[in-house]
Amino acid sequence: MNCPHCNSTHTTQLGRTTELGYRVFRCRECKSSFNERTGTPFNFLEVPTDIVFQVLLCRLRYKMSFRDVAEFFLLRGFEFTHETVRDWEARFAVIFANQLRAKRKGKVSDSWYVDETYIRVKGKWCYLYRAIDRDGNLVDSMLSEKRDMEAAQVFFTEAIRVAQKPPERVTTDGHTAYPRAIAEVLGAEVEHRVSDCLTNRIEQDHRGIKQRYYPMLGFGAFGSAKRYCLCFDEIRNYFRPRRRMREFVSLSQRRDLFVNRVQQLRSIFQAA
């Protein structure tokens, strides 16, 4: 293991571990001691990294409040408050989003369905812009305080960074900001379809965040709401068993996929 202080490869594993069981090393160059978590975002945490991973997975994957998560892990012998769960979400949930977002780059089809839904933040309605492709896979999502031309342009700019190429077709519900935003950001050659029927698939896809959002009774701050919506959409898309519309996936396949993806996500998280 390289030294996190001087990046030297001349390190020696010592015959002891930390209280949490992490190996301890000593650098022969700078003479400093360190463990496996030194220099990572998880340094100085009082619980194992795997427990933090499981806490965030429960929070983003299931309908559990901060207090629910803290109470659940109390049964496993780990005592922390709901504010600790809130702090871990603020500090580490973005690691999920950024890593999964990077894995999706260039893997979006050329037909997008775009729509926005309402999210209440501190008693005020905000707008969650979302886009999926023809197979139902996530293109991008963005929470905005306004529903206007500028917000639409920012959303399409971020979406094209994920797709890495403009789509051939974009289907919307006909909001006045979309034609100009599509032409200026995605290109005038992109076909823009306006249809209430064809946007049913994206409107139905809003149910994921809606079902998770209703039990929370709204968000208390715009920053935390924006972060949560982004992380939730990335996690939900990552665990989506179907990669094509109407694809049949048996229960046993779903369970195998879930276990494999949890293991992959844990490796991504711990390597951050």
Q: Which CATH architecture has domain 111-220?
A: 2-Layer Sandwich (3.30)
pLDDT at 159 > cutoff 90: yes
In the predicted model, is pLDDT for residue 27 greater than 90? no
- Tell me the H-state helices in 7-81: 49-61, 66-74
| Tokens describing residue 162 | 């994920």
Angle between helices 49-61 and 222-238 (to 10 degrees): 90
Could you give the angle at the alpha carbon of 136 between the alpha carbons of 135 and 138, nearest 5°?
A: 120
Condensed to tens digits (0 to 9), the pLDDT of residues 218-246 reads: 788 999 999 999 999 999 999 998 877 77
What is the spatial distance between Cα 223 and Cα 147, in angstroms, rounded to a whole number?
17
Contact 225, 119 (CB under 8 A): yes
Residue 2 — very low, low, confident or very high, per pLDDT cuts 50/70/90?
confident
